[in-house]
Chains A and B, each alone.
Chain A
Amino acid sequence: MRWSFILNIIGMLILFLGICMIFPLLFGLYYKDQSILPMVKSMVITIASGATLIICFRGVKVPYISHREGMTIVAIGWTAIGFFGAFPFYLGPEVETFVDAFFESVSGFTTTGSSILTDIEAVSKGLLFWRSFIQWLGGMGIIVLSVAILPFLGVGGMQLYKAEVPSPVPDKLKPRIRDTAKVLWKVYALFSLLQVFFLLVGGMDLYDALCHAFTTMPTGGFSTKNASIAHYDSIYIDSVIIFFMLVAGINFSLHYQFLRGKRLAFWRDSECRFFIGAVILLIVVVTFNVYGSVYETIGRAFRYSAFQVVSIVTTTGYATADYELWPAMSQVILILCMFLGASAGSTGGGMKCLRVMLYLKYCYKELFLLIHPRAIKHIKIGSVSVPEDVVRSVLGFMGLYVGLFAFSTVLIAAMGVDFITSLASVAATLGNIGPGLGMVGPVDNFALIPNLGKWVLIWCMLLGRLEIYTIIILFVPEFWRK
């Protein structure tokens, strides 16, 4: 582990983050609100800290980054970015304690969308823009962005990329990692722009359209309104957002293939079929469950259940209805959606459809082998066999995910939080969704969680965003052994 080199790179990430603060500052200046001074202060602190790290540890040139160093840089880098991203919140008048600011910031970067703010509309425009903007940065990955636009990473970019975008079956769209990162960001930016356009057509003002596009494409879920998307109460805006949430929940390499002219790309991908199929099935079930009991017309039932199901399963976390008033079955389905999550290679969180698919196929294989003990059977995705080690790592991932969920839930419950809230708050942060149930439901927020509990949830959000291994590995003693 070459620490000076690692700290040098982290310094660059922090410096880069500091430069990004120019955008909310511009909005602050435009609206002449109270976010200007805190934003300038944060920018100075962040840029100075980044520059100090770079200068203190400059001149270390290494030809490659090892696998371990890549993971360390990503894990520490994300924590550091969450830390410095918290300053605009902390230095402003709206957030009081540093834990709250840190929580809000990490919730932003990890595209969770859980908030400690009670009155969002009272917050200054500049700060709200920052809140949305960090989701956009975190969605496709701030390190992927650095790999794409900063030349210094070079070959080592690959190790960082792998640590930040851990996918069971990695896709490399272009021969060079830098080009791959660029392509992904271009597709991401293109869809974000499209969404801004469609929201403007629907009558949203430019500021709100930008903020919402910046939180839809990364499946983040921060809104600029207290009532989230319900504020607009427009079928058009609901549909636009549903569409873009689904887009964000699909593997971005499929979007790239589609844009390159492969019209059948989505249909040919079995994970995409599984994802869309699951979404449709769940919408139908929830629609019939809430029809009659909550909503009188089938149309309204469909409108609200479609939005809620897509919002949760893509791990975005917007709301147009308070699903806590829905029947228990719908609530249970939504909680299970939090675990399912979106596709691998998308900006969504959760366990990811691909892993769940592999897991189900593995279970079937075990049953099959009980019936035919001498059979040789491969687990296949499409028509390609999945290598044994990939299946093993998926099983490990599922085990760790459930284990960490249980462990964190116990920790939260130990702080005196009620049963439903403990379960739902951990599920919602570990899956990077946002709202949960109980005290942290769609119309409530995370302000009432005890401070210590907020730290646990911050940890969960980071675990979820970096798909467990990159963070948890730092807690394994073997990792640090020379």
Chain B
Amino acid sequence: MKIIIVGAGEVGFHIASHLARENKDVVVIDKDPAAIRRVSDNIDVQVVIGSGSSPVVLKEAGIKEAEILLAVTDSDDTNLGACLVSDLISPSTKKLARIRHADYDEYHEAFREHAPHIDTLINPDIEVVKTIEMLMNVPGAVEVGEFADGRVIFVGIRLDKSARLVGIGLSEIFAKTGKQSPLIAAVVRDEELIIPRGNHKLEAEDLIYFISEKDKFRDSLSIFDKHVEPINRVLIVGGGGIGYRLAALLEKNSVYTKIIEKNSDRCIELAEKLNKAVVLHGDGSDQELLKVENIQDMGVVVTLTNDEETNIITSLLAKRMGAPKIITKISKFSYLPLMSMIGLEQVVSPRLSAINTILQHIRRGKVLSSRSIKDEQAEVMEAVALETSDIVGKPIKEISIPKGALVTGIIRNDTVIIPTGKSVIEPNDRIIIFAKKQAIPEVEKILAVKLEFF
């Protein structure tokens, strides 16, 4: 499978390295020789220097043989241009554009349906706001994802020292709590991700990833001694695109919201657009301002400015001043591994969201969604079990599931089944698979249609 990526920025770079690891043929196009050099030095892909919206450059990169074009530069215009030009040269190539401006929100369908076609517009900001909303609702969650239209929740939580499950093996959870444990897909200890067995003992500070039905979610959380509490007050630092989207959403949900923005013109604009939210003009890292606005009484503080360092500093400041829950926006990938070290665990990244969304479109078989977790060490995928694929019609323990992968949920019509070895996957079930990155190509294979049916 040949994939062309326009843009060698953080998003392009990480998607390229992800795909190269899975042995796909990748060509990366960028104008900036330094960015291209970083790609060609580190990733096994072909590179082309030039503008991604130029027909000559796209032809040189081999657009005609490409199955997918990903336009992921930081410029909406270049991305649109690249997709439109590609559609002229090679209509059969599937085209995805990363578009960030909110003005395009209503036109995603139009681009898909009218020529020249763009198959998918991806706006990471929308995904980020969704993630922030989910993180707000789950106490102690480091990562949250939804599958099966929100009926299944995938959560990563940090086990507290005081939790009763510390030192308990997975198979003893029922005996200890009297409740059916949710399926634990993975445990991260000392930055290393493992798929645990029944005799695996949990320890304090373990990061536990589990899958739960939405209805039973509160119960599942209580097993880990976490409790859902409603959020009524939120402070947003940074009134950019994401900040505004979030504020508008919270307003709709009748949450009391304050939003701090440095730029006075932007404040006026925000005040016009928002009705109930309090718009404050000032610097988020100004301690006096935070004190005056009673930061310690805020349910959640979200730092969303466009400056990484400001977000980090503001979050740390808020933490020291007693804010119970803090969500930080980070774009630079190299900062992500540092965040848990400095005590800021709830992190959102628009770029990571973009990558997650794009990946699900590239996956073979009928993968509905996928997201990578813990510095891309593993991925969770939701897929439709095709009638002709290898996984249907027999008990799970008889399927040759690749090492490092785990079927963590089966959704049949309206019921969610947490599978055991005896469960049988039926055609058109939706399944949720958890896979370490080494196992992903194999997982794709078993999900795909068997060849003789073509």
Assess whether B27 is interfacial by the CB under 8 Å rule.
Answer: yes
Chain B residue contacts of A179, Cβ below 8 A: 25
Of A67, A155, A157, A175, the contact of B25 (CB 8 Å cutoff)? A175
Assess whether B67 is interfacial by the CB under 8 Å rule.
Answer: no
Assess whether B47 is interfacial by the CB under 8 Å rule.
Answer: yes
Assess whether B21 is interfacial by the CB under 8 Å rule.
Answer: yes
Cβ A176 vs Cβ B40 within 8 A: no
Cβ B33 vs Cβ A177 within 8 A: no
Cβ A174 vs Cβ B20 within 8 A: no
Distance, CA A230 to CA B105, complexed state (A): 77
Cβ B20 vs Cβ A172 within 8 A: no
Cβ A172 vs Cβ B40 within 8 A: yes
Assess whether A437 is interfacial by the CB under 8 Å rule.
Answer: no
Cβ A175 vs Cβ B46 within 8 A: yes
Cβ A387 vs Cβ B20 within 8 A: no
Assess whether B14 is interfacial by the CB under 8 Å rule.
Answer: no
Assess whether A158 is interfacial by the CB under 8 Å rule.
Answer: yes
Cβ A155 vs Cβ B26 within 8 A: no
Chain B residue contacts of A67, Cβ below 8 A: 41
**Contacts A155-B44, A387-B33 hold; do A175 and B27 have CB atoms under 8 A apart?**
yes
Chain B residue contacts of A157, Cβ below 8 A: 44
**Contacts A155-B20, A387-B33 hold; do A177 and B25 have CB atoms under 8 A apart?**
no
Q: Report the minimum CB–CB distance from B40 to chain A (whole Å).
A: 7
Q: Report the minimum CB–CB distance from B436 to chain A (whole Å).
A: 13
Of A158, A170, A387, the contact of B44 (CB 8 Å cutoff)? A158
Distance, CA A363 to CA B26, complexed state (A): 39
Q: Report the minimum CB–CB distance from A29 to chain B (whole Å).
A: 40
Assess whether B250 is interfacial by the CB under 8 Å rule.
Answer: no
Chain A residue contacts of B25, Cβ below 8 A: 174-176, 179
Q: Report the minimum CB–CB distance from A164 to chain B (whole Å).
A: 16
Q: Report the minimum CB–CB distance from A179 to chain B (whole Å).
A: 8
1/0 contact trace for B18-49 toward A, CB 8 Å?
Answer: 00110101110000010000001101111100
Within 8 A of B (CB), among A149-196: 155, 157-158, 170, 172, 174-179
Q: Report the minimum CB–CB distance from B35 to chain A (whole Å).
A: 14
Q: Residue among B25, B26, B43, B44 with the most chain A CB within 10 A?
A: B44
Q: Report the minimum CB–CB distance from B353 to chain A (whole Å).
A: 25
Cβ B47 vs Cβ A172 within 8 A: yes
Distance, CA A387 to CA B45, complexed state (A): 21
Assess whether B262 is interfacial by the CB under 8 Å rule.
Answer: no
Distance, CA A172 to CA B39, complexed state (A): 13
Of B23, B33, B41, the contact of A176 (CB 8 Å cutoff)? B23
Chain B residue contacts of A172, Cβ below 8 A: 40, 46-47
Residue of A nearest to B26 (CB): A175
Q: Report the minimum CB–CB distance from A80 to chain B (whole Å).
A: 25
For chain B, the count of residues having a C-beta within 8 Å of the partner chain is 15
Assess whether B233 is interfacial by the CB under 8 Å rule.
Answer: no
Of B23, B46, B47, the contact of A174 (CB 8 Å cutoff)? B46
Within 8 A of A (CB), among B412-436: none
Assess whether B364 is interfacial by the CB under 8 Å rule.
Answer: no
Within 8 A of A (CB), among B43-75: 43-47
Q: Report the minimum CB–CB distance from A345 to chain B (whole Å).
A: 16
Chain B residue contacts of A155, Cβ below 8 A: 20-21, 43-44
Chain A residue contacts of B40, Cβ below 8 A: 170, 172
Assess whether B2 is interfacial by the CB under 8 Å rule.
Answer: yes
Cβ B47 vs Cβ A176 within 8 A: no
Chain A residue contacts of B23, Cβ below 8 A: 176
Q: Report the minimum CB–CB distance from A89 to chain B (whole Å).
A: 37
Distance, CA A178 to CA B2, complexed state (A): 15
Residue of B nearest to A178 (CB): B44
Distance, CA A172 to CA B47, complexed state (A): 8
Residue of A nearest to B24 (CB): A175
Q: Report the minimum CB–CB distance from A301 to chain B (whole Å).
A: 45
Chain A residue contacts of B26, Cβ below 8 A: 175
Residue of A nearest to B2 (CB): A175
Chain B residue contacts of A178, Cβ below 8 A: 44
Q: Report the minimum CB–CB distance from A148 to chain B (whole Å).
A: 13
Distance, CA A179 to CA B46, complexed state (A): 11
Residue of B nearest to A162 (CB): B41
Chain B residue contacts of A387, Cβ below 8 A: 33
Within 8 A of A (CB), among B334-382: none
Chain B residue contacts of A158, Cβ below 8 A: 44
Residue of B nearest to A177 (CB): B44
Distance, CA A176 to CA B47, complexed state (A): 11
Q: Residue among B40, B41, B46, B47 with the most chain A CB within 10 A?
A: B46
Distance, CA A175 to CA B20, complexed state (A): 9
1/0 contact trace for B148-181 toward A, CB 8 Å?
Answer: 0000000000000000000000000000000000
Distance, CA A172 to CA B26, complexed state (A): 12
Chain A residue contacts of B20, Cβ below 8 A: 155, 176
Q: Report the minimum CB–CB distance from B288 to chain A (whole Å).
A: 47
Cβ A175 vs Cβ B33 within 8 A: no
Q: Report the minimum CB–CB distance from B20 to chain A (whole Å).
A: 7
Distance, CA A176 to CA B25, complexed state (A): 6
Residue of A nearest to B49 (CB): A384
Distance, CA A353 to CA B46, complexed state (A): 25
Q: Report the minimum CB–CB distance from A222 to chain B (whole Å).
A: 35
Q: Report the minimum CB–CB distance from A126 to chain B (whole Å).
A: 39
Q: Report the minimum CB–CB distance from B404 to chain A (whole Å).
A: 14
Cβ B21 vs Cβ A175 within 8 A: no
Distance, CA A97 to CA B277, complexed state (A): 90
Q: Residue among A175, A179, A387 with the most chain B CB within 10 A?
A: A175
Chain A residue contacts of B44, Cβ below 8 A: 155, 157-158, 175-178
Distance, CA A387 to CA B33, complexed state (A): 9
Distance, CA A158 to CA B17, complexed state (A): 14
Q: Report the minimum CB–CB distance from B379 to chain A (whole Å).
A: 17
Distance, CA A172 to CA B33, complexed state (A): 16
Distance, CA A67 to CA B40, complexed state (A): 12
Residue of A nearest to B42 (CB): A64
Distance, CA A478 to CA B170, complexed state (A): 51
Chain A residue contacts of B45, Cβ below 8 A: 175-176
Within 8 A of A (CB), among B224-283: none
Distance, CA A311 to CA B208, complexed state (A): 68
Chain A residue contacts of B41, Cβ below 8 A: 67
Distance, CA A170 to CA B36, complexed state (A): 13
Distance, CA A387 to CA B36, complexed state (A): 13
Q: Report the minimum CB–CB distance from A382 to chain B (whole Å).
A: 14
Q: Report the minimum CB–CB distance from A340 to chain B (whole Å).
A: 29
Residue of B nearest to A179 (CB): B25
Q: Report the minimum CB–CB distance from A439 to chain B (whole Å).
A: 45
Distance, CA A155 to CA B44, complexed state (A): 6
Within 8 A of A (CB), among B64-112: none
Q: Residue among B2, B26, B45 with the most chain A CB within 10 A?
A: B45
Within 8 A of B (CB), among A295-332: none
Distance, CA A179 to CA B20, complexed state (A): 13
Q: Report the minimum CB–CB distance from B114 to chain A (whole Å).
A: 32
1/0 contact trace for A63-96 toward B, CB 8 Å?
Answer: 0000100000000000000000000000000000
Distance, CA A170 to CA B37, complexed state (A): 11
Q: Report the minimum CB–CB distance from B438 to chain A (whole Å).
A: 10
Q: Report the minimum CB–CB distance from B93 to chain A (whole Å).
A: 15
Q: Report the minimum CB–CB distance from A253 to chain B (whole Å).
A: 12
Distance, CA A176 to CA B44, complexed state (A): 6
Q: Report the minimum CB–CB distance from B270 to chain A (whole Å).
A: 45
Q: Please report B residues at the A interface, Cβ cutoff 8 Å.
A: 2, 20-21, 23, 25-27, 33, 40-41, 43-47
Instruction: List 26 A–B pairs whose Cβ atoms lie within 8 Å, in order of A's numbering.
Output: A67-B41, A155-B20, A155-B21, A155-B43, A155-B44, A157-B44, A158-B44, A170-B40, A172-B40, A172-B46, A172-B47, A174-B25, A174-B46, A175-B2, A175-B25, A175-B26, A175-B27, A175-B44, A175-B45, A175-B46, A176-B23, A176-B44, A176-B45, A177-B44, A179-B25, A387-B33
Identify 12 new A-B residue pairs, CB closer than 8 A, beyond the known A155-B44, A157-B44, A175-B26: A67-B41, A155-B43, A158-B44, A170-B40, A172-B47, A174-B25, A175-B2, A175-B25, A176-B23, A176-B25, A178-B44, A387-B33
Closest 3 CB pairs of A and B: A175-B25, A175-B46, A172-B46
